[in-house]
């Protein structure tokens, strides 16, 4: 299946660690990318190729994959991290991207 | 610093053609794939298609051949035309750059997006 499954919402208190998952069979065989979308703004790449961060993205953001799950971890969560987060992979069989449904991160 | 800017009508009538242009500033369109992605209000991201600077294209099959992408390297622009639009095509439309320099393809640069409403 090409569907990427994300939880609709995740809530975390400031200073704690947020974990956002992206599930698909054998997702570990692919490179997973993560985007942050603040309200009313365009998505921004925060993690690419499972674990790499673009220049300017804080080290608090990290990614990992294992088996059927990819995970975006945000440590020491701040109010400014409140946003929607999307995972994405590239389907080589059809040569197009697939996005997860998105997870709304709420900072309590 | 490379920036992308979408432009085009914000209101399109049903059954007509939606036309958008993305202008690349601060860099070249050459040697990259450029894409269009849309987001209906309150919903997730949907890839529409991608075009290489040479003109090679790849489309989302779900659009059923309604979309056409083109590129003008001299103007540093690429464009989207979506015909026979309906209310379901109402969305924020983003242009984005595809990066293939790493392990796998991802979108490393996005425009700010433009809202297109389909309504009579």
Please tell me the total number of residues recorded for chain B in this structure.
120
End-to-end CA distance of chain A: 34
Q: What is the pLDDT of residue A90?
A: 94
Q: CB of B63 within 8 A of CB of B10?
A: no
Task: Chain B: give the shortest CA distance to residue A14, in Å.
Answer: 25
CB contacts, 8 Å: B50 with chain A: 96
Nearest Cα neighbor of B93 from B32, B49, B27, B53 is B49
Mutate which: B67, B100, B104, vs A, most A CBs within 10 A:
B104
| Cβ neighbourhood burial of A64 (10 Å; 0-12, 13-18, 19+) | middle
What mean pLDDT value characterizes chain B?
96
Q: Is B105 at the interface with chain A, CB within 8 A? A: yes
Looking up tokens 């992308």 gives B4
- Across the A:B interface, residue pairs with CB atoms under 8 Å apart total 61
pLDDT digits (tens, 9 = 90+) for B50-108: 999 999 999 999 998 999 999 999 999 999 999 999 999 999 999 999 998 877 899 99
Q: What residues are paired with A44 via a beta bridge? A: A36
CB contact under 8 A, B104 and A86: no
Nearest Cα neighbor of B96 from B18, B10, B2, B19 is B2
CA distance B16 to B84: 5
Q: Is B120 at the interface with chain A, CB within 8 A? A: no
Q: What is the pLDDT of residue B103?
A: 77
CB contact under 8 A, B103 and A49: yes
Number of H helices and E strands in chain A, helices first, is 0, 9
């Amino acid at each position: 299946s090409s569907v990427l499954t994300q939880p609709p919402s995740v809530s975390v208190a400031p200073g704690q660690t947020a974990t956002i998952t992206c599930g698909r069979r054998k997702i570990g065989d692919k490179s997973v990318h993560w985007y942050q979308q603040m309200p009313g703004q365009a998505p921004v790449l925060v993690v690419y190729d499972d674990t790499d961060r673009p220049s300017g993205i804080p080290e608090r953001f990290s990614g990992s994959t294992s088996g059927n799950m990819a995970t975006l971890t945000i440590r020491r969560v701040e109010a400014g991290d409140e946003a929607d987060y999307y995972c994405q992979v590239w389907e080589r069989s059809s040569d197009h991207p697939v996005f997860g449904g998105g997870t709304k991160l709420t900072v309590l | 610093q490379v920036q992308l800017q979408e432009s085009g009508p914000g209101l399109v009538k049903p059954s007509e053609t939606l036309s958008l242009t993305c202008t690349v500033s601060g860099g070249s369109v050459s040697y990259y794939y450029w894409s269009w992605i849309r987001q209906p209000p309150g919903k997730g991201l949907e890839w529409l298609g991608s075009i290489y600077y040479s003109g090679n294209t790849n489309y989302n099959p779900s659009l059923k051949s309604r979309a056409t992408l083109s590129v003008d390297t001299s103007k540093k622009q690429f464009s989207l035309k979506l015909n026979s639009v309906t209310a379901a095509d109402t969305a924020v439309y983003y242009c984005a750059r595809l990066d293939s320099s790493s392990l796998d393809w991802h979108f490393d640069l996005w425009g700010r997006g433009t809202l297109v409403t389909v309504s009579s």
